[in-house]
Amino acid sequence: MNRAATEILLIRAGALAASLVLFGGFVALAGADPLDVFYQMYRGSFGTSFSVQNTLLRAAPLMLTALCTAIPARLGLMMIGGEGALVIGGLAAIAAGLGCASSMPPLVVTTVMAIVGFCIGGGWVALSGAMRAYRGVNETISSLLLNYIAIALLNHFVEGPMRDPTSLNKPSTRAIPAEDMLQSIPGLEVHWGLVFGVVACIVAHVLMMRSVFGFGAAIAGGNLRAGMLCGLPVRRMMIIASFLGGGAAGLAGMAEVAAVHGRANASLVTGYGYTGILVSFMARHEPLAIIPVALLFGGIGASNGLLQRVDNLPDATVSVLQGILFVVILASETLYGRFAFFRPREERVVVRPVADATPEVT
């Protein structure tokens, strides 16, 4: 492993350790024993097979919703519409699932639901991308507002046209038959949404880091005008990136309705989309880094229960930890290049005459 890579690994590990020390101080102030808190967190997140599965299950939707921010971010877009894409994708998926459940084999039903969820979720966020590309509407604001519209649409459909008349006090759509539900991964009690998440992150990595499209996106993201002068179809790329990001979040919604609820109702709105934004930022919008960061967040979520039940800490404790992690990791970004040890040997020897003459280092 070369020195630059070691630098990244060590600084991130250091940031993690520093966050835990700060968090330990915080729980000590709250009257709990930090060591016991850390032990419970380990037990709740990775300590038993049940805990590991709990972590994986919570990480799965976050991987997909994080991509909704991460992919457009390569083009310099700041999309926060994951929640809306998840909700509208889930709603569309259940509509498609109900439409074809009785006439087709389960695998086909699942595939149709996934495709519809992906396309509708993608189209939802692509609206934001298109408004930005053609009308200059700020995509952060428009994608945020689209979240509220999506939730309002969900409520309208489950309480109105798509309502199962027998769902009296919790308005819901009809349920898809049990055999059409998305099953668990063999050997685990985690549904296939986890595989969707991991595969989507890998595909997004290849697309954004290893393809011509990704290279063009990085150029346009670095300098929009330069990208346009190069003849890149920047507008179309913005819409495509938004579509792909929204599609990932829509797929998360499909997994929620197809694997967990079996129907669509207000329980679909739980904030996975917003947590995904945090995950994407902590992963520096790198699709592959989303996987471990999502696992970290999943683990924190999984340990939440034990902290409440055993250490009698309030539910907000894990939000504090997430906040500390977020701030410390972002702050640690400023440390890169500050430690002489990590610089390649030749650079340390060479006396740099002027600041902008950065030597080309390999």
Partner 1 sequence: MKLQVRRRAGVVSVMSSVVLAALAIVGAIGCKNQDSAAPAGPAGSASGSAPADQTLTVGFVYVGPKDDYGYNQAHHEGALVVAKLPGVKIREEENVPETDAVQKTMESMISLDGSKLLFPTSFGYFDPHILVEAKKFPDVTFFHCGGLYDATKHPANVGSYFGYIDEAQYVSGIVAGMTTKTNKLGFIAAKPIPQVLRNINAFTLGARSVNPKATTAVVFTGDWSMPSKEADATNSLADQGVDVITMHVDSPKIIVEQAEKRGIFVTGYHASQAALAPKGYLTGAEWNWGQVYTQYVTAMKTGKPFDSVAHLLRGGFKEGFIKMSPYGAAVSADAKTKADAAKAALTDGSLVIFKGPLSDNAGKQIIAPGASLVQTDVSLEKMAYLVEGVKGSIP
Residue 10 corresponds to which tokens in the numbers above? 């060590």
Q: Compute how many other C-beta atoms are within 10 angstroms of the C-beta atom of residue 347.
A: 13
- What would the DSSP string read from start to end of 59-84? HHHHHHHHHHHHHHHTTT-----HHH
Q: What are phi and psi of 286, to 5 degrees?
A: -95, 120
Cβ 126 to partner 1 shortest distance, Å: 26
Distance, CA of 162 to CA of 183 (rounded, Å): 24
- Name which of 140 and 184 has its Cβ closer to partner 1: 184
Residue 257 corresponds to which tokens in the numbers above? 């309705």
DSSP 8-state assignment for residue 258: I
Cβ 101 to partner 1 shortest distance, Å: 16
- Name which of 130 and 150 has its Cβ closer to partner 1: 150
Q: Is 203 helix (H, G, I), strand (E, B) or coil?
A: helix
- Name which of 108 and 152 has its Cβ closer to partner 1: 152
Q: Sort 264 into a burial class: Cβ within 10 Å, 0-12 / 13-18 / 19+.
A: buried
- Name which of 237 and 289 has its Cβ closer to partner 1: 289
DSSP 8-state assignment for residue 191: B
In 3D space, the residue among 110, 92, 151 whose CA is nearest the CA of residue 269 turns out to be 151
Strand blocks (E) in the chain: none
Cβ 73 to partner 1 shortest distance, Å: 13
Cβ 286 to partner 1 shortest distance, Å: 5
Cβ 94 to partner 1 shortest distance, Å: 14
- Name which of 69 and 128 has its Cβ closer to partner 1: 69
Q: What are phi and psi of 2, to 5 degrees?
A: -80, 175
Q: Which residues bind partner 1 (CB under 8 A)?
A: 2, 4-5, 8-9, 40, 43-44, 46-58, 152, 155, 159, 168-171, 187-188, 190, 198, 201, 205, 209, 256, 259-262, 265-267, 270-271, 283-284, 286, 288-289, 291-292, 295, 301-302, 304-306, 308-310, 314-315, 336, 358, 360-362
Helix axes 212-222, 234-255, angle to 10 degrees: 110
Distance, CA of 82 to CA of 80 (rounded, Å): 6
Q: What are phi and psi of 34, to 5 degrees?
A: -55, -40
- Name which of 123 and 262 has its Cβ closer to partner 1: 262
- Name which of 46 and 137 has its Cβ closer to partner 1: 46
Cβ 309 to partner 1 shortest distance, Å: 4
Cβ 291 to partner 1 shortest distance, Å: 4
Tell me the sheet residues that pair with 191: 184
- Name which of 18 and 185 has its Cβ closer to partner 1: 185
Cβ 130 to partner 1 shortest distance, Å: 28
